[in-house]
Amino acid sequence: MAAHQRALQCPGAPAAPVAERGQRMSALPRLMPRLMPWLVAAALLALWQAACTWAKVPEYLLPTPLRIAETLWADRALLGAAWLTTLKITAGALLAATTLGTLVAFAFVQSRWVEAAFFPYAVLLQVTPVVALAPLIILWVPEPTLALVVCATVVAVFPVISNTTLGLRSVNPELAAYFRLKKASRWQTLWRLQLPSALPHFFAGLRVAGGLALIGAVVAEFVAGTGGTSSGLAYQILQSGYQLQVARMFAALALITATGVAIFACMNALARWAMGGWHPTERSAHD
């Protein structure tokens, strides 16, 4: 009897390890999309380091990643203060662009005449280079930080206006007819139908506006040439270029790039938080 029980137990003994291996194998494809960008970045940095070391490239032409990391740590106080200045300008511009762009989109949706009259001027702001507008804005706005925020806002506001207007108009026709049948007020239609329908478009515009706000802040700092304690990363790049401190230039550029990636990630997280529990676009993207 005991031998018969052992014979029955033996074939089933490896079942648990096999199941664990299967779970690990099934988890790997889910992790790969997150790991691949980091693996590619590590490979590119290793190739960069090896190429510069093997070819003995001078540091004033192209510093190695290790040298850039050393400079980033050595100049952390200077670059950290400049990064906070640029981040403050970017955050203020993104907040202003989101508020202004959403209000303008609401006005456009309420009246086709308003949209026809003023939308071309929003396009005009978008196509006019900020490099041409920045000197005028800096001349008209006496406070330097506020002038830079205005410049970055001009760059970042159009995607919010365009995407939010498109989203507010992209409602289900059957649902719109149902709201009209129920004699819903304009406010009820906006709050309960148009706003939920517009959220994917709004957050798509917000993702673009976040990057544009950072670009606008950096370009405005270049044009303004601000210095002293209120200087940003763009000013540090200019000063490092004048002094041939190329490693510091790359360190400042790395901070700008990391900030842009962090802003995009924050916008994605905000979209998941706002829509992940109920909107089909976010649920299908993470199934």
Residue range 175-187: average pLDDT?
Answer: 71
- The pair of structure tokens assigned to 8 is 């029955």
pLDDT tens digits, residue range 21-47? 555 556 667 777 778 888 888 999 999
User: What pLDDT, on the 0 to 100 scale, is given for residue 283?
Assistant: 55
Residues 6+ positions from 233 with CB-CB distance below 8 Å: 79, 82, 83, 85, 86, 218, 221, 252, 255, 256
User: What pLDDT, on the 0 to 100 scale, is given for residue 31?
Assistant: 75
CATH topology of domain 65-285: MetI-like fold (1.10.3720)
- The pair of structure tokens assigned to 279 is 């909107």
For the CA atoms of 93, 215, 142, 154, the dihedral, rounded to the nearest 10 degrees, stands at -60
User: What pLDDT, on the 0 to 100 scale, is given for residue 7?
Assistant: 46
Residue range 247-252: average pLDDT?
Answer: 93
pTM, full prediction: 0.81
Say if residue 15's pLDDT is above 60.
Answer: no
Say if residue 50's pLDDT is above 70.
Answer: yes
